Amino acid sequence: MSIQAVQMIILWLFVINLGTAFGAGLYESRVVVPQWLRASPGSGYRWNAEAAQEADVGLKFWVYVTTVPLTLLTVASLAAAWWTPEPVTRLVGRVKSVRFLSPDVALMHVIGGTVMRGESKPSPVRDSIQTLVATRKDSRWKLAAFQNTRVRPMGRSFGAVLLWKVTDLLWKLLLRKSDMDSAAPLP
């Protein structure tokens, strides 16, 4: 059996474990927890701590539903990743431009891409554009700043422009004010 088949099996076991844990949570909330409540005249229901302690679902139930299987799957996933023969992706790039702002400061624009496993060329939909600032000190160049943005061409068709505008609108609507307030101010 190939390592990729093993990885696929482990992934599906994670999915099955997640579904089982979700179902177990529903079962517990609908069947088990009501057993820990007792009717109290005038005030509805009261918590029956003795029944909850006696049930001990942490050791009698959840350990077998989530803790043990999840631990085994995590260890199996780590082992499968360890034995993976090649990297999943490879990063490539091509320099678009280099501009010297001074003899010791350079500004570069690079188009970066990702070559997925089994592919020989990067996929254009995964392209990013990077802006790098390099400085020279003691005849050695070092990167002082790096900025990366996914390339997202607008396109010329009505549908492409509409998609661009709708996603920008969603971005503005869904971005919480608190997210904007917590962003670091520009100097």
pLDDT class for 143, splitting at 50, 70, 90?
very high
- Break the chain into its structural domains and give their ranges: 3-82, 87-151
pLDDT more than 90, % of the chain:
23
pLDDT tens string 22-52: 888 888 888 888 888 888 888 788 888 888 8
CA distance 184 to 187: 9
Q: Report residue 26 as tokens.
A: 């529903």
For residues 78-82, give the mean pLDDT: 81
**What is the pLDDT confidence band of residue 144, given thresholds at 50, 70 and 90?**
very high
Distance CA 107, CA 145 (A): 10
pLDDT for 136 beyond 90: yes
Residues 6+ apart with CB under 8 A from 155: 161, 163, 164
What topology does CATH give the domain 87-151?
Nuclear Transport Factor 2; Chain: A, (3.10.450)
Would the pLDDT of 179 be above 80? no
Strands (E), the chain: 37-40, 44-47, 89-102, 105-116, 128-137, 140-150
Cβ atoms within 10 Å of 6's Cβ, excluding its own: 16
> pTM here?
0.43
* CB half-sphere exposure, 70, CA atoms < 13 A: 11
